[in-house]
Amino acid sequence: MRCQQCDKQAMFHITELETGEVREVHLCEDHARNYLNQSEGASQPSESAGPLGVAQTAEELSELDQKVCEMCGITFFEFRNQGRLGCPHDYVQFEQELEPLIANIHGAVEHTGRRPQRPSDSELPESTESLTQVIGLRKGIREAVEQEDYERAGALRDQINKVLDNWHAEQQTADGTDSAQPSESPSNS
């Protein structure tokens, strides 16, 4: 069965029982999420809020759409279309844009649950942003190889390995175990 709003396979089959009447809605995952989020926040329906609940004019929206993640290269427009982000860095890159959307979905903008376990003597990491840099570095290698700039590709490779080595060293101090190192293979072109 196809989604009622696009061509994808319908994954969600929602039975609405609003006015004592039964109504079936068949949607793909993306549209179902939108649909459920809408019906959840139905107490304040705002047509002007735009698809993301971010109130803005057409010009503002098109400017926003062109923002690009410097790690994975996804544009905000692509995200709006697919409903999926490209990499962990998007939450930093698009933080301002995502905030109203996340507030709309969850009614909150701050994580209060579990955090990664770290040894008591080290500071909690602000985030795993340093590791996420690797995504952008890998993209840089692909571009360097395309331009046949192998020196630059090699330098970037070294940088990646340094970041991954740092993480590995941290882990070892954390639990004292020796886990296999997540180093990069040079076959990444």
According to DSSP, the residues that pair with 23 across neighbouring strands are 16
Residue carrying the six token digits 């190192």: 181
20: Cβ contacts below 8 Å, ≥ 6 apart: none
Residue carrying the six token digits 């507030």: 103
Considering the rule CB under 8 A, would residue 164 count as an interface residue with another protein? yes
Radius of gyration for the alpha carbons in the chain, expressed in angstroms and rounded: 22
> Of these, 48, 115, 148, 151, which contacts another protein (CB under 8 A)?
115
Conformation bin of residue 97: beta by default, left when phi > 0, alpha when psi is -120 to 50: alpha
CB of 135 to another protein, least distance (A): 6
87: Cβ contacts below 8 Å, ≥ 6 apart: 69, 71, 72, 74, 132, 135
Considering the rule CB under 8 A, would residue 10 count as an interface residue with another protein? yes
Per-residue x/- track, 57-96, another protein (CB under 8 A):
--------------xx-x-------xxxxxxx--xx----
CB of 61 to another protein, least distance (A): 18
CB of 150 to another protein, least distance (A): 19
37: Cβ contacts below 8 Å, ≥ 6 apart: 104, 105
Considering the rule CB under 8 A, would residue 151 count as an interface residue with another protein? no
Considering the rule CB under 8 A, would residue 153 count as an interface residue with another protein? no
Interface residue list for another protein (CB under 8 A)? 1, 9-15, 17-18, 20, 22, 26, 29, 33, 36-37, 39-40, 71-72, 74, 82-88, 91-92, 98, 101-102, 105-117, 124-129, 131-132, 134-135, 138, 163-164, 167, 171, 174-175, 177, 179-180, 182, 188
